Amino acid sequence: MSKKNILPEGTRDLILDECIIKRFLERNIDGIFEKWGYKEVITPTLEFYETFNYNSQSLKEEDMYKFFDNRGRILVLRPDMTIPIARVVETKLKDSKIPIKLRYTSNVFRVHASLGGKRNEYTDCGVELIGLEDKKSDLEVLVLALEALKKLELRDFKLEIGNIGFFNGAFKNLDIDQEYKENIAQFIEDKNMKSLEDYLDTLDIKDEYKKFFNKLPWMFGDKKILEDAKNIAFNDDIKENLEYLEELYEQLDELGYGENVTFDLGMVPRLNYYTGIIFRGFGEGVGNTVLRGGRYDSLIQASKKYIPAIGFSIDINSVIPNVNIYNDLNNDENLCKVFYGAENRIEAIKKSEELRREGFIVELLPTENINEIKIIKGGEK
């Protein structure tokens, strides 16, 4: 096959019905965010590499598409939307009144391992609530995430909540190199129990720490897991983070979302700018994570002080094959075909405009051996 007909690895074309569904989902999700008072922001597809590399260490260099501009500076296709929004807040919105509520619909780009089945380009619809600490904003964002998942019309969806403070709290009085901490986090996030156990045995730490970390990959499930976690909580930081998750669950349950909420205390995402609650959304039949988000209080800085923030994004592309609303989108009653001959071209165009004003989607079809205009509406044959 000619190279001109081959796409780069990790990308794909969306055509016809897929485009209809994608645009419908984008409008629906964006509409929810707008009704909650979030203002739209559009950032460039291209950013300086330094924007993602400076002081964040949140993304690996090999995960980004990099190239040079005409001055030799390194550019990247944005691999994330939170960091560009942090840049916007620190510059153009630095004097804005708090809180700042922003929304976006943007393509992002990540280099994934070959043959891993993951897309390297996908569309994120997301929000960022900036300027309010956890107890003033976490609940709002979690409810908005649940409402967005509901809008996707998935058969069964769950929002899985964790707290990076539960993991970090264990290190409060533990003198250990950052490299060891990152390795432990990776084993826990991957739920690689045997490798985690073997690795911990090589470290000179107390047994209570080993017991705690070995248990973390198993600490997921419904609200009962929070009670079980109290049995391995050995300091006040860990206990306080558990109590906060309990408080959030009670509030979400009171609002009617209890059945859609689960917990994973071993959730330790690779993006290391998270500082508080972290969460992921799943839907039945969707193999990938649909939604990702969390709190990041140490990323956005203004006037030498960090600004608290929380946000999430939805991977629209992951939902398209599983969406259950196509029949509503492709309603034959809204379709109309106008057949016409060469002598009736002008009249046919005028008639098609009348039909469009009435709300029809009209397709003009020039036809040979016809001396009149023929209109077929909806499901007519």
> Strands 335-340 and 374-377, how do they pair?
antiparallel
Predicted pLDDT of residue 270: 66
Q: Is 84 left (phi over 0), alpha (psi -120 to 50) or beta?
A: alpha
Residue 45 pLDDT > 80: yes
The answer to whether 264 touches 220, Cβ cutoff 8 Å, is yes
How large is the average pLDDT for residues 156-178? 88
Residue 171 pLDDT > 60: yes
pTM over 0.85: yes
pLDDT tens, residue by residue, 324-367? 555 555 556 789 999 999 999 999 999 999 999 999 999 999 99
Q: Is 306 annotated as a binding residue?
A: no
Predicted pLDDT of residue 380: 62
Q: Is 81 annotated as a binding residue?
A: yes
The correct CATH number of 332-377 out of 3.30.70, 3.40.50, 3.40.190, 3.30.460 is 3.40.50
Q: Is 104 annotated as a binding residue?
A: no
Q: Would you kindly state where each structural domain of the chain is located, as residue ranges? A: 3-173+219-227+235-326, 332-377
How large is the average pLDDT for residues 108-132? 85
Predicted pLDDT of residue 273: 79
Neighbours of 119 (CB within 10 A): 18
The correct CATH number of 3-173+219-227+235-326 out of 3.30.930.10, 3.30.1390.20, 3.30.365.10, 1.10.3720.10 is 3.30.930.10
> Which of 47-61, 108-122, 164-178, 362-376 is predicted most confidently?
362-376
C-alpha dist (Å) from residue 237 to 55, 242, 244, 247, 280: 26, 9, 11, 15, 23
Q: Is 340 annotated as a binding residue?
A: no
Query: The tokens of 26 are what?
Result: 């984008």
Q: Is 45 annotated as a binding residue?
A: no
Residue 85 pLDDT > 90: yes
CA atoms in the 13 A half-sphere facing the CB of 252: 28
Predicted pLDDT of residue 287: 74
- Reported confidence tier of residue 175, pLDDT bands at 50, 70, 90: confident
How large is the average pLDDT for residues 237-241? 91
pLDDT: is 232 or 38 the higher one?
A: 38
DSSP per-residue letters across 41-65: ----SEEEHHHHHTTT--S-GGGS-
pLDDT tens, residue by residue, 280-333? 999 887 878 999 999 999 999 877 789 999 999 999 998 888 775 555 555 567
